[in-house]
Structure 1
Amino acid sequence: MNKKLYSLKKIFFLTALFGGTFLFAQTKVTGTVEDVNGPIDQATVNVKGTNITTTTDADGLYQLTLEPGKYEIIVSKIGEPTTTQTINVLDENEVSLDFFLQSINSETDLSEVVLIGSRAVGRTQLDSSTPVDVIDIKEVTKDVGQVSLNQILNYVAPSFSSNTQVISDGTDHIDPASLRGLGPDQVLVLINGKRRHTTSLVNINGSFGKGSVGTDLNAIPTSAIKRIEILREGAAAQYGSDAIAGVINIVLEDSTDKLRASISYGGNLSRNAEDNFDGETFQANVNYGVKVGEKGGFVNVAGSYDKRQPFNRQKEFTGTIFSDYNRPDLYPNPTGKDITEEELARRGETRADYVSRIGQS
């Protein structure tokens, strides 16, 4: 009996020393991920139902370490179909499992692929993300009662701000735009990833962004735009100091053999409006593209007709228009007395003749 007890103790002792090796033996699963063009890098390899995940390197190679058992391996990559294989891992040193991804077809929708703010290997950290708003203009214009690009973005992007300016010289006609409350010259505007030139107008008087020069977004027809990408945090690190507020990338329409047209009309229906309805806006858009050659070339033509009527929100001024300082014949003893009514009567005018216009140009 003592011999048996001693033998059992010996077995438990040996198991404690070496049991980890035998009971938790792990197998290395390796392989490649390829498509018709060769190895695929940065493809995600995931073990279904677990948090075991890795990515392929530049040669399409991946490696997983698994305990014996049956697993479902999922491989995915943006622009490629997801592929799944089942593997039965035994107590072996290494197992090979390769994946071949079929080429994506032309009908797959990739409209949400972001062009700006990309984080390439070797340039920045891949485990951090930069928030990017992707705005589909065709979808937005169906629901938004606005005709200019500034006002459309003002409606859908919380960090974007643009308002019509008044009594501010040329800025009455070019609305300054802001991201995150910073100046118009601190947001970088790109068109298809290329820098858009700024205006030659310096914002003056009491307008927003006084002293700065921004970009006239309203000069770009909405019919020529496919989508808009707005990059905020991290923009300055990737694009320079003129992108402190962020980056707005306007992706132009590239569709072919499709005619798209729209007409928008609106105005202000209000008791404060002139004749109860003013500030009418009208816009007509058209877009059409044709293919060029057999290698994906195209020409896309867009046109826009815009008309905007003014409105005024300044009421009749009830304060002092003329004082006795305005009457040289009362010199040398002016006192600052209000003589508005007397002077208007003398001139044959009314207060309505001295109302400035404050509103849309």
Structure 2
Amino acid sequence: MQKSLLTPVLVVAALAAHAQNITVTGRVLSASGEAQPGATVLERGTTNGTSTGVNGEYSLSVSPQATLTISALGFAPQQVPVQGRTTLEVRLVASATDLGDVVVTGSRAAIGRSNVLTASPVDVISAREIKAFAQTDISQVLTYIAPSFQSARQTISDGTDAADPATLRGLGPDQVLVLVNGKRRYQQALVNINGTVGRGSVGTDLNVIPTAAIKRIEVLRDGAAALYGSDAIAGVINIQLKDDTTGVQATGLYGQTVESDGQTQQADINIGIGLNKRGFLDIGGQLLNRGYTNRAFQDTAPLIYSGDGSGNYPASATTEQSRRDLKAQDDALVAQRGYDRTNIRVGQSALRNFSGFL
């Protein structure tokens, strides 16, 4: 019998306790008497609270003997006893401590990647960040990640369409030192010409290093000529290859332009083999097959072989019939010699690249 009465007794007690609360309404004003939106109204000693609306109004159910704590940014907190009242209007007092300037900065990185404790700023880029940007080679990855790095891919510019001139801090490609596992990487044989970035200089081809074999990339964004020599005036890029991987990792990428050309297929693979606790063997490889793009227009000259120097009708073709006959002869020559009116290709070249590291 006692057990059956326990639940109703608890419900009645809870209802009685709730009935003792009162609803307090009112407004919170600023020091000048204006409505203070966003102020916090909290029952002291509890988590029961609310915030004021756009007109400074609030409504909160509390105990008749409760004390309300009202606070807002830039104002001193106030303690107001309820004492059974159902309406309270509170005017805040400005805080004696002035707020300093608030500066908010943004970054594309979820976490800070720069080591600011070193004498010079060093960006450390992990393999996860490299894959997050879905680029086909290291030069393009660093262009998106490292703020001081720039890689210029130019079409119709000799071999720079395949080997991008890479620069740091706007200096020449031959003033950027590239290290692989802390050792100097040799420079390419291609001299940048034809008005490309770093014309007359020789840089280092970063794109022959498979992205799948990279553990991290460290970019020193300051001159280090005193330590490394004159080829480190712009900075240093140190590429650390994977040294603790076991198992197989493979990724693939496909894309094309909106003009349905420039198809790009890329496959990366990295294989780590343990050598019975005596070391490991890490093999990384990359296959990149990039199609060409063409943004040239057709040759619209009336005549290809029978016209004047500009492809127009010669002055001797004065009648409509003579022009038709000349056009028919020229079209026959075009068909005979296999001429294509789109006889020039303007865009990136086709590229097939195989690379591997052991």
Report the TM range for the smaller structure's normalisation: 0.5 to 0.7
Deviation at 1:352, TM superposition (A): 2.5
Any conservation in 2 of the 1:344–1:351 contact (CA below 8 Å)?
A: no
Q: CA deviation at 1:169?
A: 2.3
Does the CA-based 8 Å contact 1:164-1:360 persist in structure 2?
no
Deviation by residue 1:314-336 (Cα, 9 ceiling, x = unmatched): 33466898984589xx9xxxxxx
Structure 1 match to 2:272: 289
* 2:282 alignment partner, one of 300, 305, 317: 300
Does structure 1 residue 212 correspond to structure 2 residue 201? yes
Structure 2 residue aligned with 1:130, among 108, 120, 142?
120
Which runs of structure 2 are paired with 1:102-121 in the superposition (5 Å)? Answer: none
Q: Which residue number in structure 1 is paired with residue 232 of structure 2? A: 243
**Runs of 4 or more off by more than 4 Å in structure 1?**
317-323, 341-347
1:187 deviates by: 0.4
User: Which whole-Å CA distance do the structure 1 matches of 2:310 and 2:201 have between them?
Assistant: 37
Kept after mapping to 2: 8 A contact 1:199/1:213: yes
Structure 1: state its 5+ residue gaps: 1-111, 118-126, 331-338
Partner of 2:212: 223
Q: Indicate if the aligned counterparts of 1:168 and 1:206 stay in contact, CA closer than 8 A.
A: yes
Q: Is 1:254 equivalent to 2:237 in the alignment?
A: no
Cα distance in structure 2, aligned partners of 1:218 and 1:184: 14
Alignment of 1:161 onto 2:144:
no
Kept in 2: contact 1:166–1:207 (CA 8 A): no
Q: CA deviation at 1:228?
A: 0.3
- Distance in 2, matches of 1:155 and 1:128, equals 23
What is the aligned-residue RMSD (CA, Å)?
Answer: 3.3
1:194: Cα distance to partner?
A: 0.3
Distance 1:256 1:199 in 2: 29
Task: State the aligned residue count.
Answer: 221
Give the 3 Å change call, closer, same or farther, for CA 344–160 of structure 1 in structure 2: farther
- Contact 1:150-1:218 within 8 A present in 2 as well: yes
In 1: Cα distance, 2:299 partner to 2:141 partner: 34
Q: Structure 2: where are the runs of 5+ without partners?
A: 1-112, 315-322, 351-358
TM-score scaled to structure 2, two decimals?
A: 0.54
The C-alpha deviation readout for 1:31-74, integer Å capped at 9, x for no partner, is xxxxxxxxxxxxxxxxxxxxxxxxxxxxxxxxxxxxxxxxxxxx
SS, match of residue 259 in structure 1: strand
Q: Does residue 292 of structure 2 align to residue 310 of structure 1?
A: yes
Pick one of 335, 343, 348 that aligns with 2:334.
348
For residue 344 of structure 1, report the CA deviation from its aligned partner. 6.0
SS in 1 for 2:346: coil
Please say if 1:232 is aligned against 2:208.
no
Structure 1 distance, partners of 2:272, 2:346, is 43
The answer to whether 1:196 aligns with 2:179 is: no
1:87 corresponds to: none
1:102-156 deviations in Å (ceiling 9; x for gaps): xxxxxxxxxx898xx9xxxxxxxxx972101111123331x21211111111111
For the 8 Å contact 1:317–1:355, the answer to whether it is kept is no
The answer on whether the counterparts of 2:123 and 2:220 sit within 8 Å (CA) in structure 1 is yes
- Whether the 8 Å CA contact 1:313–1:359 is kept in 2: the answer is no
Rounded to whole Å, the distance in 1 between the matches of 2:271 and 2:343 is 49
Residue type of the alignment partner of 1:249:
N
Q: Please tell me the residue identity of whatever aligns with 2:145.
A: V
1:142-181 matches, within 5 Å, as: 143-181=132-170
Q: What letter matches 1:306 in structure 2?
A: L
Q: Taking structure 1 as reference, are residues 256 and 326 closer, same or farther at Cα in structure 2, changes over 3 Å only?
A: closer
Is the partner of 1:134 in helix, strand or coil?
Answer: strand
What is the aligned-residue identity percentage? Answer: 48
Tell me the secondary structure at the aligned position of residue 217 of structure 2.
Answer: strand
Larger Rg: 2
Q: Structure 1 residues 278 and 167, CA, compared in 2 at 3 Å: closer, same or farther?
A: same
